[in-house]
Every structure is written in structure tokens, then in C-alpha cells.
Amino acid sequence: MNPNATITDEQFKAYLKKVRDMVEGPYTEWQKEIEVTNTFPEKFYQSNIDNDIYRYSLPVEYGGWGLSEKEILQVQEEFSRGPSGMRMHMHYASDLNWRILDDFGQPEVKEKYMPLFQDKTIFTNFALTEKTGGTGADLHSTAVWDEEKGKWILNGEKWLISHTDCSQFSYVICVTDPDKEGDERLSAFFVDMSLPGFELVPMPHMMGCRGSGHTGLKFTNVEIDPKFMLGERGQGMEVAMHSLAVSRVHIATSNLGIAQRMFEMSIARAHDRVTFGKPIIKRQAIRMKLANMQMMLHALRCTIIDFCDDYDVDPMGEFIAEKAAICKLFSIDTVRLVSDEMLEIFGGDGYFEDSPYGPTELLYRDCRAMWLEEGAPTVQRITIAKGVEDHDGHVNYRTWIAGTALDFTPEQLAEMDLTREYL
């Protein structure tokens, strides 16, 4: 347990069990209504408040428990075993919701707003994606400085933005310096959604992850006080990429949680399903499927653990973005294999909405959203490829030296000595 945490090891274990019971019990039942309405009931938000979902991941100074990233992601694995629309909300609540403001907000803004995250007095959304400009440096939304008003004037549109139905603020990445090249064109803002000119644009229901409040955003001459800029002018892409790096591991852990549950349901089904006088788990073809599922789950969990070992020591570390992209990309392969194998093990029974083993159909459909959250596979490969170029194919590990670059500087050697003490 993180020595700075305000809860004990036993309390943490009990909390993990509590979260599992929530998502596999009442939350799964509530999802039946959400599939039709595409809206979370108020009791969902209240339950999250009552069960510390908005509090547990926060730093102690803002009312949280002071958990390490490794501990936060263990909680996420558990709540990812349930409906993925709710998972998206809880994942966001434990990460991007507050972390961007904490990492990049101005001191006076942080002082006012950071304590309000613990009970959902405020909630945010992350507005990067655009219908016409993708998610990179080719964004088209603009913020222009108005010297007379002493404010930034925001115009443009965003698309496929989650949690807009329950948010009071939006993290908006936009162009502030169109004449500059590359990332320096962009800046980031913490925008009050009640400001005049801020609108929501409805979107159709999604295939899965129902209830997660997806809309478009439209900005028409929205006036923003300069104190609400995140980081410095021209730092918008850095704000976005650093924040997404951490969130990508949260997506990977979501894939781990949903895949783990599908694996467990598959084992149960394989024990119970009898053909030609014996359970199908005794048949070699089924055993090979289960072995492949276990292999992928174990490898994914180890990849996430390695990321946490780095992040908990240095969140701004050299390999954070690359390792995060690796986690996200590998998690897609994992959940794809596990979900497909699950459906084959269940056969036609797994294709129906109601199953005595759990929501096979819902989880199979929900997990497809993971391909796209925080960047499609191609985006992850681009990030990894940049890391390959920057580091000549080497990735450093805190507990493993062989296979890494061995031309250490004196500073790196000193760090390794510290690491050995840490281990």
C-alpha cells in the first residue's frame, strides 16, 4: 500500500470487493433501463458518491485517499467488470476528470475547484476530437485573444465527447496561434459550460457503452478568462498527450477487467456444458482457447504493472507515453481474443441478452468501444513508433536491465542504485 494512503491494506481489499459487488449487482440491473433510455438514472450518481467513486483516486489534499496509480488501476479493473457505459464514467472520474486541472491548472483555479471533485459537485469532459480535424495538431476550433475584453474568444465544434450530460466544465484543446507550426499552435482551457455561446449537439445512440452522455459541442464567441488557461500558451498538445498517456492505461485496465470477467464466465460455461457425456472443458480444443485467454490476460496485467512502477516514481518519465500506448494497443488484442473465444465457448447461448453466467452479449458489444477510446490502434502505433525512433528500440525497466541500452550515464547509475534499495 502507498505509505501516504489514508486507508489500510485490509480496507483497500474490502473496497475492491465492494466495487465488484456493485458493478455485478445493482449496476448491471440498472443497465437494462439504460440500454433503452441512454441516460444514467440519478441513483447511479448518488451510489457513486455514497461509495467514494469520485473520491478514492484523489490526492489527500483534495479529500482523496492518496492511492498510488497501481492501486487506482486495481479499483478500475474491478469496476470494469460491469456495464461499460458506467465503466467509462467511473474511469473518467478516477483520472482525466480531475488530473488535468491538478497537473496544469492555475493555482487560484485549483484552490477553488479541486476540492469539489470529491462528491461530484463538479464534473468535466475532455474535448479534443473534431469531426473535420481528427485528434491531432490539425484541429480547427480557435481561441482568439481580445485585448479590449481581456479574454479569449472561443469558436468551433467538437465531436464524440463523453459525459457531457453530467458535466459543468470542459477541458478544451484549440488553436490559439495558427501561424505557428505543429504543436505550438494549440492551447488548453478549463471552460465553464454555462457560459453564453456553449452548446451541446445531440448524437445518435451508440452500439455499446450506453448512457455515457456522448454529444458534440459547439462554441460561439465563448468568452474565457485567461486564468482558465491550462499550462502555458502553446502547451495544449502537451496537456492533451500527457493526460491521454495516463488515460490510455486506464483504458487498458478497463480491457483487462472486462476480459477477466469474460474469461471467468467462459470457464464456468465450459465446466457446465456437457457434450457426448463429458464437460467441454475436458476437450482439447476448448482447453487451448482457455490457455490463450489466460496467456493474454497475464501478459496484459504485467504490462500495466510495469507502467505503474514507472509512473508512481516519475509521472513525467521518458517512457511514460510509449509504455502507455503499448498497454492500450496490447489490451485491444487481448479483449478481442478473449471476447471472440468466449462467444465460441458459449455458442448461440452467448448471443442472447439474458445469460445465467452474466451479460455475455452486453460485454461483447461494449468492449468494441475500447478500440477507439483515447485513440484508435493506429494512433497507438504512431506513438510507439516515435518512441522506437527516440530510444533506438530500447525501453527501460525498473526491475530488469538485460535488453536495455547499457550506455548509462552516472546519473542513471545512481538512480539504479536507488532502485535496488527500493526493490
Decide whether 124-234 matches 237-399 in CATH topology: no
The x, y and z cell numbers of residue 114, run together, are 479541486
pLDDT at 283: 96
pLDDT at 360: 87
- What number is the average pLDDT over the span 399-422? 67
Bridge partners (DSSP) of residue 146 are: 151
- What number is the average pLDDT over the span 71-89? 91
pLDDT at 133: 63
pLDDT at 399: 83
pLDDT at 408: 65
Q: Render the burial of 111-135: b for 16+ CB within 10 Å, e for the rest.
A: eebbbbbbebebbbbbbbbbeebeb
CB under 8 Å, gap of 24 or more: what pairs does 305-313 form? Answer: 305/70, 306/397, 306/398, 307/249, 308/68, 308/69, 308/70, 308/73, 308/249, 309/70, 309/397, 309/398, 309/399, 310/398, 311/69, 311/246, 311/249, 312/2, 312/68, 312/69, 312/70, 313/398
Is residue 314's pLDDT more than 70? yes
- What number is the average pLDDT over the span 87-104? 92
Taking each continuous run of H as one helix and of E as one strand, the counts in the chain are 13, 10
Is residue 151's pLDDT more than 50? yes
Is residue 76's pLDDT more than 70? yes
- What number is the average pLDDT over the span 331-340? 96
Is residue 37's pLDDT more than 60? yes
Distance CA 195, CA 209 (A): 29
Q: Which residue has the higher pLDDT, 349 or 185?
A: 185
Confidence of residue 392 (pLDDT cuts 50, 70, 90): confident
Distance CA 191, CA 423 (A): 43
Residue at 161: amino acid letter: I
CB 165 within 8 A of CB 152: no
User: What homologous superfamily does CATH list for 237-399?
Assistant: Butyryl-CoA Dehydrogenase, subunit A, domain 3 (1.20.140.10)
Q: How far is CA 311 from the centre of its chain?
A: 15
pLDDT at 32: 84
pLDDT at 332: 95
Is residue 23's pLDDT more than 80? yes
- What number is the average pLDDT over the span 114-132? 93
Instruction: Kindly state the percentage of the chain with pLDDT values over 70.
Output: 91
Confidence of residue 88 (pLDDT cuts 50, 70, 90): confident
- What number is the average pLDDT over the span 23-42? 87
Domain 9-117 maps to which CATH number in 1.10.150.120, 3.20.20.70, 1.10.3720.10, 1.10.540.10?
A: 1.10.540.10
Is residue 421's pLDDT more than 50? no
Angle at 251 between CA 250 and CA 253, to 5 degrees: 65
- What number is the average pLDDT over the span 46-60? 96
* Statement: the pTM of the whole predicted model exceeds 0.75: yes
Please write the tens of the pLDDT for every residue from 238-251: 999 888 888 899 99
pLDDT at 423: 41
Is residue 236's pLDDT more than 50? yes
pLDDT at 205: 65
Which residues are CB-contacts of 158 (< 8 A; sequence separation ≥ 6)? 127, 128, 129, 130, 141, 172, 216, 217
Distance CA 43, CA 208 (A): 21
Is residue 414's pLDDT more than 80? no
Is residue 3's pLDDT more than 50? yes
Query: Would you state the torsion angle of the CA atoms of residues 81, 65, 325, 318, taken in this order, to the nearest 10 degrees?
Result: -160
Percent composition of the chain: helix, strand, coil (DSSP 3-state, to 5)? 55, 15, 30
Q: Give the best-scoring range by mean pLDDT among 130-134, 157-161, 287-291.
A: 287-291
pLDDT at 134: 56
CB 127 within 8 A of CB 154: no
Domain boundaries, the chain: 9-117, 124-234, 237-399
Fold of the domain built from segment(s) 124-234? Butyryl-CoA Dehydrogenase, subunit A; domain 2 (2.40.110)
- What number is the average pLDDT over the span 15-33? 92
Is residue 109's pLDDT more than 80? yes
Is residue 420's pLDDT more than 50? no
Among candidate residues 53, 131, 71, the one with its CA nearest the CA of residue 312: 71
Which residues are CB-contacts of 113 (< 8 A; sequence separation ≥ 6)? 101, 105, 122, 169, 190
CB atoms within 10 A of CB 387: 20
pLDDT at 355: 86
Range with lowest mean pLDDT among 68-77, 107-116, 136-145, 286-295: 136-145
Mean of per-residue pLDDT scores for the chain: 89
Please write the tens of the pLDDT for every residue from 265-280: 999 999 999 999 999 9
Please write the tens of the pLDDT for every residue from 207-235: 555 656 568 899 999 999 999 999 999 99
pLDDT at 8: 95
Instruction: Kindly state the percentage of the chain with pLDDT values over 90.
Output: 64
Q: Which residue has the higher pLDDT, 88 or 291?
A: 291
